[in-house]
């Protein structure tokens, strides 16, 4: 067999074994994202930057997919530790923008957001932890994985980036639950933070507390609030609501075109989509996005290897959490907090991590046999 035929066969085998359906779904989501970004930039300005980021996500996906699953498993602690170091570095000497230190400057003007990479690192780390241990029966068995999530949570909170920090909690809870943690063990883990919420409210910064109260009273905003703390929420709801059933059409949304909607390339990108594609388009997009998470959940059941199952389900949870928070914020269901919509929002780190996560799903999915065991049996 010629080398290229061998490569083709291997590739076919890889694809057959892997959870390839996530790829077309992700591609569809990214395409919608590209269209929305194009609409934001204006029909006459093709968003080349965004296309480059998509290419970067594709590249990251390919690289991650090409890396054997065992490497991911073996190096998860290293990846996690590297992200932790970067998170600390960011706090110490990262680039401050918007009164927050979130980015590490790289060569050539590129910048890196370690908290985004930490999301994938945490998935890998928790997957490895839970895959190698029996189901947690006592709360102390959750202490280490809990600390794995809590440390980045606190570091990211200190940046401060509440939105990103908040994604670690549901990820940890979901993975702990999937690991078979007893419900009575998990209940206090959920309840204690909820009971401590009033204390947390007192610790909030003024702008955060004001934003929270604006959200709580979003039906009765004054003109001043609409122009100030409630500006994002108000315009987002206005964009979505005025879109109606069918929307204004691509690049025709007035809130988008007149630059009235803030953060419309990142946190409020869904509002642009809803304004222009209407209820039908936005719901279809939600279902498309949800189907990616659902596909990941389904795919995770195909595998026997616990690490693969946790990783793939974890990535599914990652996308589902982001979708829920981002769209919930845009529609006013949750208080306003900045969180991008992976694969749609502008942002290199988020895009690269999404690509990597998909690559890891492919890689671990294609992980046919428990190689280590077979090696030991041989």
Partner 1 sequence: MNVRRLIHVAAVFAVLVTALVARLAQLQILQHSEWVEEARRSRTEKRSIPYNRGTIFDARGKVLAEDRQAFDLHLVYRDFRRGHPGRAIPGHVSAQLFEAYLLLSVERRAEAFHAADVRYGGVEECFAGGPLLADRLLRVSPAELGHLGTSGRGDLRFYLRGLFGLDADALESWMQPGAPPLGEAFPEARPAFLERYAAASDALAKLEELLAYEPGELLARVEHLRLLLERRLRVRAALQAAGTGFSLSVSQLWDCLDGRVETRDGILTREEFLARLHERWRIAEAGFSVDELENLLRFGQRQPDGDPPVRDSLREVGRLLQQVERAAPKDLAGTRRSLSRDLHARDRILKPEVDFEVLDLILMNPTAYPGLTVVEKPRRIYPDDTALALVGRAGENEDQALVERQRAERDRYRQLAHNLHRTAQEDEEYRQLRERVRREHVWAGEVLGRSGVELHFDDALRGKRGFLDQLQSDSDPEEAVELDFISPQHGRPVRLALDTELVHAAERAMQAGYREAARLVLEDPDLDPRAIPGLARPRAGLVLLDLRDASVPVLATWPRYTDEEYRKHYSELVEDPERPLFHRCLGFNFGGPERTPYPGSTFKPLVAYVALEQDQTAWEREYLCEGRYEGLHCDARYGHGMIDMHTALMKSCNVYFYRLGEELGYGPVYRAAQGLGFGDPTGVLGGNMEYAYLRHPREVNRRQLAGAARHLSIGQAYVAASPLQMARFYGWLATGRLLTPRLALEVGGRPTPVEAREVALPARVRDLLQGALSDVVADVGGTAHGDGLEEFGVAGKTGTAQVSQSGPGTVSNVHSWFAGWFPREEPRWAVAVYCENTGLHGGDCATLVLAEFLRSPEFRAFEAPL
Q: How far is the CB of 324 from partner 1 (least distance, A)?
A: 5
Q: How far is the CB of 6 from partner 1 (least distance, A)?
A: 34
Structural contact between residues 295 and 21, judged by C-beta atoms closer than 8 angstroms: yes
- Write the Ramachandran bin of 332: left for phi over 0, alpha for psi from -120 to 50, otherwise beta: left
Q: How far is the CB of 329 from partner 1 (least distance, A)?
A: 11
Of the pair 62, 186, the CB lying nearest partner 1 is at: 186
Of the pair 165, 312, the CB lying nearest partner 1 is at: 312
Cα–Cα distance for residue pair 148/122, rounded to 1 Å: 7
Structural contact between residues 367 and 135, judged by C-beta atoms closer than 8 angstroms: no
Of the pair 149, 282, the CB lying nearest partner 1 is at: 282
Cα–Cα distance for residue pair 150/166, rounded to 1 Å: 10
How many whole angstroms from its chain centre is CA 99? 23
Q: Which residues bind partner 1 (CB under 8 A)?
A: 49, 95-99, 105, 108-109, 111, 130, 174, 177-180, 206-207, 220-221, 223-224, 226-228, 237-245, 252, 254-255, 257-260, 274, 278-279, 282-283, 286-287, 290, 293-294, 297, 300-301, 306, 309-310, 313, 317, 320, 323-324, 327-328, 331-333
Of the pair 283, 375, the CB lying nearest partner 1 is at: 283
**Residues ≥6 apart with Cβ < 8 Å to 229:** 207, 210, 211, 214
Q: How far is the CB of 179 from partner 1 (least distance, A)?
A: 7
Of the pair 77, 254, the CB lying nearest partner 1 is at: 254
**Residues ≥6 apart with Cβ < 8 Å to 375:** none
Cα–Cα distance for residue pair 43/32, rounded to 1 Å: 15
Cα–Cα distance for residue pair 285/278, rounded to 1 Å: 11
Of the pair 151, 182, the CB lying nearest partner 1 is at: 182
Q: How far is the CB of 200 from partner 1 (least distance, A)?
A: 19
Q: How far is the CB of 1 from partner 1 (least distance, A)?
A: 38
238 half-sphere exposure, CB direction, 13 A CA radius: 13
Of the pair 3, 107, the CB lying nearest partner 1 is at: 107
Of the pair 151, 162, the CB lying nearest partner 1 is at: 162
Cα–Cα distance for residue pair 60/272, rounded to 1 Å: 27
Q: How far is the CB of 332 from partner 1 (least distance, A)?
A: 8
How far are the Cα atoms of 37, 57, 290 from residue 63, in angstroms, in the given order? 25, 10, 25
Q: How far is the CB of 113 from partner 1 (least distance, A)?
A: 14
DSSP H helices in 67-108: 69-93
The b/e string for 81-99 (b: 16+ C-beta within 10 A; e otherwise) is: eebbebbeebeeebeeeee
Of the pair 317, 360, the CB lying nearest partner 1 is at: 317
Structural contact between residues 253 and 272, judged by C-beta atoms closer than 8 angstroms: yes
Q: How far is the CB of 377 from partner 1 (least distance, A)?
A: 23
């Amino acid at each position: 067999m010629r080398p290229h035929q061998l490569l083709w066969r291997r590739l076919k085998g890889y694809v057959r074994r892997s959870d390839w359906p996530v790829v077309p779904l992700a591609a569809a989501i990214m395409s919608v994202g590209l269209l929305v970004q194009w609409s934001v930039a204006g029909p006459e300005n093709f968003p080349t930057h965004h296309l480059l980021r998509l290419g970067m996500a594709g590249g990251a996906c390919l690289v991650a997919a090409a890396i054997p699953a065992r490497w991911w498993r073996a190096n998860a602690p290293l990846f996690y530790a590297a992200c932790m170091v970067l998170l600390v570095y960011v706090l110490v000497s990262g680039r401050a923008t918007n009164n927050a230190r979130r980015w590490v400057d790289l060569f050539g003007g590129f910048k890196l957001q370690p908290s985004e990479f930490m999301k994938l690192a945490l998935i890998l780390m928790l997957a490895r932890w839970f895959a190698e241990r029996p189901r947690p029966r006592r709360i102390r068995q959750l202490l280490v994985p809990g600390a794995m999530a809590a440390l980045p949570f606190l570091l990211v909170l200190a940046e401060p980036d509440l939105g990103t920090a908040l994604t670690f909690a549901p990820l940890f809870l979901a993975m702990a639950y999937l690991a078979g943690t007893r419900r009575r063990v998990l209940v206090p883990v959920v309840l204690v933070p909820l009971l401590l919420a009033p204390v947390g409210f007192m610790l909030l910064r003024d702008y955060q507390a004001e934003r929270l109260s604006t959200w709580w009273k979003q039906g009765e905003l004054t003109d001043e609030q609409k122009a100030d703390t409630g500006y994002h929420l108000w315009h987002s709801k206005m964009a979505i609501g005025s879109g109606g059933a069918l929307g204004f059409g691509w690049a025709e949304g007035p809130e988008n075109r007149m630059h009235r909607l803030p953060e419309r390339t990142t946190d409020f990108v869904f509002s642009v989509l809803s304004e222009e594609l209407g209820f039908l388009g936005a719901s279809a997009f939600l279902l498309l996005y949800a189907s990616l998470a659902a596909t990941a959940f389904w795919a995770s059941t195909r595998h026997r290897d616990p690490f693969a199952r946790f990783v793939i389900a974890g990535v599914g949870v990652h996308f589902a959490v982001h979708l829920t928070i981002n769209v919930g914020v845009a529609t006013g269901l949750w208080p306003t907090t900045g969180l991008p919509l992976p694969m749609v929002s502008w942002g290199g780190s988020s895009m690269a991590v999404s690509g990597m996560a998909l690559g890891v799903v492919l890689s671990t999915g294609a992980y046919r046999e428990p190689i280590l065991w077979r090696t030991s049996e041989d």
